[in-house]
Structure 1
Amino acid sequence: MRELVVEADGGSRGNPGPAGYGAVVLDPATGETLAEAAEYIGVATNNVAEYKGLIAGLRAVAALEPDAAVRVRMDSKLVVEQMSGRWKIKHPDMKPLAAEAARVLPAGRVRYEWIPRERNKHADRLANEAMDAGKRGERWTPSARDASAARRAAAPPPSGPPGDAAAGAARARVALTNTPTGGLPATGLPAADLSPAAAPAPSSVPVPDTLWPVEADTAPDPGVAPDPAESADPVPDPAPAGPAPDLSAPATFVLLRHGETALTPEKRFSGSGGSDPGLSEAGRRQAAAVADALAARGTIRYVVSSPLLRCRQTAETVAARLGLDVAVEPGLRETDFGAWEGLTFAEVRERHPEDLDAWLASPKAAPTGGGESFAAVTRRVAAARDRLAAAHAGRTVLLVSHVTPIKTLVRLALGAPPESLFKMDLSAASLSAVAYYSDGNASVRLLNDTSHLRR
């Protein structure tokens, strides 16, 4: 029995938004392309498009060689793990698609393998070609693809002022991710799951109404705007000197501060050196609200939490809603506030005035009684950031953490001074977001969004 390879992918420009899938059947011995399939499917989510790409690839094998075995390779961890039976399928939109995929060929002849995004470029290209064709009101065909490539090749390259490498990278990213009005919405997030075929850009752009890609979405919203990056081809020339800008999909960290504890309304210092309180009843309601919002609005591929109880409880509530597991990252824990744990600011001012003044004046000063300085927190948070960004390049990851680590990630992304930590407000159960590119640049996309708590 011959084994064929299916590579499949799907994407949504807006999630939900204009969506399409691509699939290719390959001869593993020769690498020959035996069949291609791609289709624009209208407004849908990333996950729906990915599953439809899988189904199309399996059907192509069934038409070519009904008795063949199949090795499916996809960069969607969700689809691979669910179809392999290792993850439960909890979302109602995914269950019928998974069942349909399972019916195409006998389960014993199909095995699934996760591959990095960069190894799934063929299927990704087909998915983007299908979306491009849909935007033109056409069906995808190989001839339509060739015509689109010819139009891009004939387009004159844009010109722009020279600059250093960082400025070139920034100009290129702005051209590929700005909205039609030229600005990034204050509440938008990048998709980090779709690279247009015409240019390897960050996966999609922010869209209005705080929508961002979601790992298991609800019914699509037909009012979501299409991706302006579709018309941003060719890419503006980067700076003439220095390394080329990184236009690959970034690692996007959606930063969630944990829900309230009993100490939160009283504004007491609550770090990693105290009693480790759990969520209050209000905090549990907040965690449920943010879980619903993320399930409806974001492409969360992984959930990572601080080891402290209030974060783990918040993370577990969200992860259960998304059908994901929770990984623990010690570097995301809150500052150890030493002898200040459990005290209000006024109480610290009364008991330890000199230490408080020093702490406010210098990031190297630590709270009374062997607490942790902001400089020390910055070092461990930056190390955790680097580990996670390297492990999740091109993916959107939810990090559930605390005030100081989240503010520190934002500060570092902005290149702001340490005293800026005191000039940011971060509410309980609020969402922020930072995108990290492999060239070292970062982009703050959201800060202290609490709209999901007001519904």
Structure 2
Amino acid sequence: MSRLYLIRHGKPAATWGGHDDDPGLDETGRVQAEAARDFLLALPPEERPRLVVSSPLARCRETAEPTAEALGIAVEIDPGVGEIPTPAALAAESRGEWLRQAFQGAWAEIEGDLDYDAWRQQVAQALQGRGDTAVFSHFVAINAVISVLTGEDRVVSFRPDHTSITILETDGKTLTLIEKGREASTGVL
């Protein structure tokens, strides 16, 4: 079995619903990214990640960079571990309200032009073939994976804090949850 580390990005310079639809990290987020790197590098050599994968969004890429640099490798960008897709017809300024509504229900109840229940399965499948990898992703994508592994239908059943590290194992075909990362004591923001 190989280890997978599913890491929520560090604190962004702006939140969803703000003016910047792809914010990078703020100073706290940069410190959090370095702390995630330090945690991963302090693992026993046989448990350390050998690959670094990130969502395409800046906050994840910037969180992944210190780990990749320390390992001497490039960050691999994988849209399969990216943010939940917003319905095409939804105005950018409405994304925050759409997410708040989605957070209240089950995956199959999310309104939009996509089958979000199938989307969460795809996020988990994007991880199955990866081993010894640090994957930098998002609050909702991490909830998608946890929901698949625990059989939970609610969109939010886990509140991973910024740079929370959830540990999974894979044999290349299946995923097993080993340990959920640190949860936020406040809301998603």
TM range (shorter): 0.7 to 0.9
Q: 1:293 aligns with which of 13, 19, 39?
A: 39
Change (3 A) 1:331 1:296: same
2:179 maps to: 446
Q: Which has the higher contact order (CA 8 A, sep 6+)?
A: 2
Question: 1:321, CA displacement in angstroms?
Answer: 1.8
Change (3 A) 1:343 1:287: farther
Deviation string, structure 1 residues 276-335 (Cα, Å, up to 9, x no partner): 111111111111111122112251111111111111111112111222221111101111
TM-score, normalised relative to structure 1: 0.35
**Letter of the structure 2 residue corresponding to residue 447 of structure 1:** K
Match status 1:311 vs 2:60:
yes
Whole-Å Cα distance in 2 between the matches of residues 275 and 263 of structure 1?
A: 8
Whole-Å Cα distance in 2 between the matches of residues 255 and 382 of structure 1?
A: 11
Task: Give 3-state SS (helix, strand or coil) of 2:119's partner.
Answer: helix
Note the residue ranges of structure 1 that are not aligned, 5 or more in a row. 1-249, 451-455
Whole-Å Cα distance in 2 between the matches of residues 378 and 291 of structure 1?
A: 27
Whole-Å Cα distance in 1 between the matches of residues 61 and 123 of structure 2?
A: 17
Question: 1:340, CA displacement in angstroms?
Answer: 7.4
1:363 maps to: 107
Whole-Å Cα distance in 2 between the matches of residues 385 and 428 of structure 1?
A: 20
Whole-Å Cα distance in 1 between the matches of residues 59 and 53 of structure 2?
A: 13
Match status 1:398 vs 2:134:
yes
Deviation string, structure 1 residues 215-268 (Cα, Å, up to 9, x no partner): xxxxxxxxxxxxxxxxxxxxxxxxxxxxxxxxxxx232101111011335xxx4
Q: 2:169 aligns with which of 425, 435, 444?
A: 435
Q: 1:418 aligns with which of 131, 148, 153?
A: 153
Note the residue ranges of structure 2 that are not aligned, 5 or more in a row. 184-189
Whole-Å Cα distance in 2 between the matches of residues 423 and 379 of structure 1?
A: 16
Question: 1:376, CA displacement in angstroms?
Answer: 4.1
1:334 maps to: 83
Deviation string, structure 1 residues 357-382 (Cα, Å, up to 9, x no partner): x7734423445xx5655314214313
Question: 1:343, CA displacement in angstroms?
Answer: 6.2
Question: 1:410, CA displacement in angstroms?
Answer: 2.0
Q: How many residues align?
A: 176
Does the CA-based 8 Å contact 1:410-1:434 persist in structure 2? no
- Pairwise CA RMSD: 2.9
Does the CA-based 8 Å contact 1:259-1:429 persist in structure 2? yes
Change (3 A) 1:340 1:366: farther
Whole-Å Cα distance in 2 between the matches of residues 312 and 303 of structure 1?
A: 10
Change (3 A) 1:360 1:449: closer
Change (3 A) 1:407 1:359: closer
> Which structure's CA Rg is the greater one?
1
Q: Percent identity?
A: 28
- Write the mapping of 1:250-265 to structure 2, written as runs, cut at 5 A: 250-264=1-15
